Chain A
Amino acid sequence: MKRREFIQKTAAGSALVMGGLSLSSFAGPEVKKLTILHTNDVHSHIDPFPIDDPKFANMGGVARRASIIKQIRSDEPNLLLLDAGDVFQGTPYFNYYGGELEFKLMSMMQYDLCTLGNHDFDNGIDGFNAQLHNASFSFVSANYDFKNTVLDGIVKPYKIFMKDGLKIGVFGLGIELNGLVNKNLYKETVYNNPIDVSKDMARILKHSEKCDLVICLSHLGFIYANDNQKVSDLMLARATKDIDLIIGGHTHTFLNKPYIEKNAAGNEVLINQVGCYGLNLGRIDFTFEKGGKIKSGGKTIVV
């Protein structure tokens, strides 16, 4: 009952926003919609925070997140559910079960794709690999070279999804592990420069694969104010082109709305990150219109 009311009102709000911005009528060009839902740095936070928690009282919780996701799914058939890494580590659930429950619950929520965070190596690359059979979703990483590890051929650079005829390419990026994770945990994983790798990825996905949308799932971190050499999502956005959206993690940055940055070609890239611990779910809706009908105009970004 309440859910129905929510959907109606959301639809009303949506129409209002659309109307106010004088978008062309839906009756005109063929329109498709894609909804991206995302989390990052959940860190094994399966239960909500205690009601007496000084910072996040009664926030988060997988059972609630699952309810929201289910509700949105019932309304949006074209949906991708993504996570930007650090699924593991932070509560005894990880210490006791090594990530089994995290992966099983994410499978139940029908996550589509993740990238690896540094903490996903906390039980070693073997510990991570040992839990993968519990995941119905896959992991991507384009700049970790796993050739000489157990993840060779298992973690691929990117994945392409087809949703109602829309082609969406998603590639993954991980942070430098040296100095952050013990070598005996990540073993022979080789870290390659994320910017160089992203240029290749974006070209492949946008131009060779002709994706309608290119998403980067990044665990690089949003920005490093004290270290302008360290590769961040912001630096990545500026230095590359053909990436539409960067979903970030690692720095536990709570963005109230996606950050919009100009890429190397002067086009907008959205960067989003929703804090940590499953306190928030990010939602980004993309509207697509049949290209031939649009001669000039613009893109409307409501965030």
Chain B
Amino acid sequence: MRMTKKYNTYRNGFVLFLTTALLSACGAPAFRNTAIEAKKLPITNQYADNQDIEKFILPYRDHINKDLDSVLAYCPETMDKSNSINGWQTTIGNFLADVTFDKAATLFRAKENRSLDICLLNHGGIRSIIPKGPVTARTAFEVMPFENSLMVVALKGEQVLEMAQYIAREKKPHPLGGMQIVLDKDNAVKTITIQGKPLEAGKIYNVATSDYLYNGGDSMDFLGKAVATYYLDYKLRNIYIDYFKEVDTLPIIRTERIITQKP
């Protein structure tokens, strides 16, 4: 039956005649292409597994599954980017921003002997929830399926202001660490505090982010105006996996980084 279907597909194939005059020239190949037939073969379960291939894959698959599913930590409460705290932050965004900030700060100090001020990621880059219960490496793959890597960009104070204005304009709870933005009731940036101190226009701030955002992702154009960049060669996913290995229970972080002043 399955094969009959195959046969029908073949017969029902689109047929096209082309009557291009064949050019005969000296030194033409002895054999000339006179007919072409093409079809797309969908790979479905109508084809049995090739057992040699299946046997070859098995140890790789088992190793990955064992590794991905081994419990690294525990999450006490589901972290979901669609549940915001006053519209401007999420527990998962706070968690990712703070973990990334801490890992980046340590690495940045070790590699460059500089201190980190801010961490900015993107809301759209959070691809899954972290469900309540066991946390595995697979969780990190689901939250961060992309290969984005950590980098630090040095921004002038005026670009940090642009960053705050971008966030206010976008109205998205982008993960943010090390910085607090206060907006007035009209969503205009009122004050910016970095590491507890007010923003200084002339100062250089080191901002941890991803290469994806630096390269133009989510139109964070202010990142492109960096006066210096540092590639830390550390995938965001690996940051999370390494963190999961270090702790028993993930923190649920509700601190507000972006605050709209009540009228």
Task: Give the interface of A toward B (CB within 8 A).
Answer: 2, 5-6, 9-10, 12-14, 16-18, 20-21, 23, 30, 32, 46-48, 58-68, 70-71, 89, 92-93, 95-97, 101, 104-105, 108-109, 122, 165-167, 179, 182, 184, 210-213, 244, 255-258, 260, 266-268, 270, 272, 274, 278-292, 294-303
Complex contact A291–B36 (CB within 8 A): no
What CA separation (Å) do A149 and B85 show in the bound complex?
50
Query: Can you give 24 A-B contacts (C-beta < 8 A)?
Result: A17-B11, A23-B34, A32-B31, A47-B61, A58-B45, A68-B47, A96-B60, A211-B29, A267-B20, A268-B18, A284-B36, A285-B38, A286-B33, A287-B37, A289-B32, A291-B28, A291-B29, A291-B30, A294-B22, A298-B20, A300-B34, A300-B36, A301-B17, A302-B15
Residues of A within 8 A of B24 (CB): 291, 295
The proximity string for B residues 1-26 relative to A, scoring 1 for CB distances below 8 Å and 0 otherwise, is 01110110011011111111110100
Complex contact A21–B57 (CB within 8 A): no
Centre residue among B38, B57, B60, B237 by max chain A CB count within 10 A: B38
Complex contact B30–A285 (CB within 8 A): no
What CA separation (Å) do A239 and B53 show in the bound complex?
41
Complex contact A63–B40 (CB within 8 A): no
Complex contact A292–B215 (CB within 8 A): no
Complex contact A210–B215 (CB within 8 A): no
What CA separation (Å) do A290 and B39 show in the bound complex?
25
Residues of B within 8 A of A105 (CB): 53, 56-57
What CA separation (Å) do A301 and B32 show in the bound complex?
14
A170 to chain B, nearest CB (A): 15
Complex contact B6–A64 (CB within 8 A): no
B157 to chain A, nearest CB (A): 28
Residues of A within 8 A of B60 (CB): 46, 93, 96-97, 101
Residues of B within 8 A of A23 (CB): 34-35
Complex contact B40–A16 (CB within 8 A): no
Further 12 A-B residue pairs, CB within 8 A, beyond A59-B43, A244-B33, A285-B38: A9-B4, A17-B10, A17-B37, A105-B56, A165-B31, A182-B211, A283-B39, A285-B37, A287-B34, A291-B30, A297-B22, A302-B35
What CA separation (Å) do A89 and B52 show in the bound complex?
24
A-B contact number at CB 8 A = 232
Given A66-B50, A256-B40, CB of A302 within 8 Å of CB of B13: yes
- 5 nearest CB pairs, A to B: A63-B49, A66-B50, A298-B19, A288-B31, A287-B35
Kindly report which residue of chain A lies nearest to residue B4, judged by CB atoms.
A9
Given A9-B6, A67-B49, A291-B31, CB of A299 within 8 Å of CB of B56: no
Given A10-B7, A64-B44, A101-B60, CB of A298 within 8 Å of CB of B18: yes
Kindly report which residue of chain A lies nearest to residue B215, judged by CB atoms.
A179
Given A13-B11, A298-B17, CB of A63 within 8 Å of CB of B54: yes
Task: Give the interface of B toward A (CB within 8 A).
Answer: 2-4, 6-7, 10-11, 13-22, 24, 27-45, 47-54, 56-57, 60-61, 63-64, 67-68, 141, 147, 211, 215, 231, 237
Kindly report which residue of chain B lies nearest to residue A300, judged by CB atoms.
B35
Kindly report which residue of chain A lies nearest to residue B13, judged by CB atoms.
A302
- Majority DSSP secondary structure for residues of A touching B: mixed
What CA separation (Å) do A210 and B57 show in the bound complex?
41
What CA separation (Å) do A201 and B90 show in the bound complex?
55
What CA separation (Å) do A77 and B89 show in the bound complex?
62
Kindly report which residue of chain A lies nearest to residue B231, judged by CB atoms.
A184
Residues of B within 8 A of A282 (CB): 38, 40-41
Complex contact A299–B34 (CB within 8 A): yes
Contact partner, B3, options A5, A14, A65, Cβ 8 Å: A5
What CA separation (Å) do A21 and B36 show in the bound complex?
12
Complex contact B39–A288 (CB within 8 A): no
Kindly report which residue of chain A lies nearest to residue B45, judged by CB atoms.
A58
Complex contact B40–A280 (CB within 8 A): yes
B146 to chain A, nearest CB (A): 10
Kindly report which residue of chain B lies nearest to residue A68, judged by CB atoms.
B47
Kindly report which residue of chain B lies nearest to residue A18, judged by CB atoms.
B35
Contact partner, A281, options B33, B43, B141, Cβ 8 Å: B43
B57 to chain A, nearest CB (A): 6
Complex contact B38–A280 (CB within 8 A): no
Contact partner, B41, options A61, A95, A281, Cβ 8 Å: A281
Kindly report which residue of chain B lies nearest to residue A32, judged by CB atoms.
B31
Residues of B within 8 A of A213 (CB): 33
Complex contact A67–B50 (CB within 8 A): yes
Complex contact B36–A286 (CB within 8 A): yes
What CA separation (Å) do A17 and B50 show in the bound complex?
31
What CA separation (Å) do A71 and B2 show in the bound complex?
15
Contact partner, A299, options B6, B18, B53, Cβ 8 Å: B18
Residues of A within 8 A of B53 (CB): 62-63, 66, 105, 108-109
B95 to chain A, nearest CB (A): 22
Residues of A within 8 A of B11 (CB): 13, 16-17
Complex contact A279–B141 (CB within 8 A): no
Centre residue among B16, B45, B53 by max chain A CB count within 10 A: B53
Complex contact A62–B40 (CB within 8 A): no
